[in-house]
Amino acid sequence: MKPVSLSLSLMLAGTTALADAHSSAGLTYGPRPAYLISQMEDNELKSKLQSCAAQAPARSAFSIGHRGAPLMFPEHTVESNVAAAQMGAGILECDVTFTADHELVCRHAQNDLHTTTNIVASDLADNCTTPFSPASGDTSASAECRTSDITLAEFQTLTPKMDAANGAATTAEEYLGGTANWRTDLYSGNATLMTHAESIALFDSLGADFTPELKSPSVTMPHEGFSQEDYAQKLVDEYKEAGIDASRVWPQSFNLADVMYWVENEPEYGQQAVYLVEWTDGFDEQTADTWVEDFAQLKADGVNYLAPSLNMLVTVDDAGDITASAYALAAKEAGLELITWTLERSGPLASGGGWYYQSVTDAIGNDGDYFVVLDALAQDVGVIGVFSDWPATTTYYANCMGL
């Protein structure tokens, strides 16, 4: 097992060379945007995007690193976020959860250590809520390991990996595999976990702003005296302690009570708090009586930012083109700023794009359609930011379109 940074200063010192992403000269699109453009059908959008091939990359707040750049790097690691910053992501994300001793760390969920780290094959395996169980017959291998199962010091001994598990595994070591064939383990070695406080220092050093998401606890709250309000407050306090201006922070939560806590108790942060929502069974992006959100009431209550999953914001019109949904137009009409997620989470789009693209499946045919959807989100919906697992795509589009 490889310990993560022994101190914040050592961690930052280790990324000094990579932090040249501060300057435009240090930014790069890499080959992916050009590849995606080459896959597009010939049309005006493709011509416009091709015309920007020689442009110099510039950082853009429209481009948001979703857990860093986890298409190829282990999510929520130093390396993943440095890669995202080098691609011009103007805002970076730490999904925030807590350990047994109530320290804040960057993980997508409190109960994902079994798929995002080596814990099941480590000395901490017995600490897991549900230790590893091998595959047997028709039963897949399984485990559940939570950050709340271990202390911060123990968390810092874990080795991060690509988010995956091998359901056919008969040993804990085999369970660590399973990476999707459209991702890669090429950059998994020597990746570095982060606390929330370390993410703040790193993102600041990279010239990026912040969008921490307060994740729903897997444990019952309050947890040993640590309440949901304590949790929401501690997230904000770590920005204050780091001297970060509230104007640079967009705290997020799927829990409206968290958003309202910030609005009412930390108004400088609350005015930029983001209410996350996602497609649920029975939802129809064109039929108002299926919408759970009352947009006018949210705005009246002080919520200024809404972040629906992208399938909620786009639809296919009668001509077969991807355009803004009625849901999106109603939210904009109420005065809400829209952010969306996650552009490149689904892998290759040849089969329609999966969950994230379910409202436009009939119009999706190949990877070039990432840019078609992105254009609809920017031009028709009017989103102000897009999360991506590979931020070079959103940065390229934003630079080309002058966003």
* Residue with the larger pLDDT of the pair 16 and 215: 215
The residue-averaged pLDDT of 155-162 equals: 98
pLDDT-derived band at 115, boundaries 50, 70, 90: very high
Q: What is the pLDDT at residue 21?
A: 40
| Helix (H) or strand (E) segment spanning residue 109 | none
Report d(CA 165, CA 168) in Å as an integer. 9
- Inform me whether the pLDDT recorded for 302 exceeds 90: yes
Instruction: Determine phi and psi for 239, rounding to 5 degrees.
Output: -75, -40
pLDDT digits (tens, 9 = 90+) for 64-83: 999 999 999 999 999 999 99
The residue-averaged pLDDT of 130-145 equals: 98
Percent of the chain residues past pLDDT 90, beyond the cut:
93
The residue-averaged pLDDT of 312-326 equals: 97
Residue 39, token pair as written in the block: 């896959």
**What is the pTM for the complete model shown?**
0.95
- Neighbour order of strands in the sheet with 305-308: 104-106, 95-98, 213-214, 252-253, 274-277, 305-308, 337-340, 385-388, 60-65, 89-92, 209-210
Among 295, 267, 21, 280, which residue's Cα sits nearest to residue 251?
267
* Residue with the larger pLDDT of the pair 189 and 6: 189
> CB–CB of 97/32 below 8 Å?
no
Distances (CA, A) of 97 to 253, 272, 314: 12, 20, 31
> CB–CB of 104/235 below 8 Å?
yes
Domains of the chain: residue spans and CATH:
8-100+192-401 (3.20.20.190), 110-175 (no CATH)
- Inform me whether the pLDDT recorded for 342 exceeds 60: yes
The residue-averaged pLDDT of 309-332 equals: 98
pLDDT digits (tens, 9 = 90+) for 22-63: 456 699 999 999 999 999 999 999 999 999 999 999 999 999
Percent of the chain residues past pLDDT 70, beyond the cut:
94
pLDDT-derived band at 207, boundaries 50, 70, 90: very high
- Inform me whether the pLDDT recorded for 17 exceeds 80: no
Residue 149, token pair as written in the block: 């199962």
According to DSSP, residue 363 is labeled G
What's at 229, amino acid-wise? E
Cα angle 256, 262, 267 (rounded to 5 degrees) comes to 135
Report d(CA 296, CA 193) in Å as an integer. 40
Q: What is the pLDDT at residue 24?
A: 61
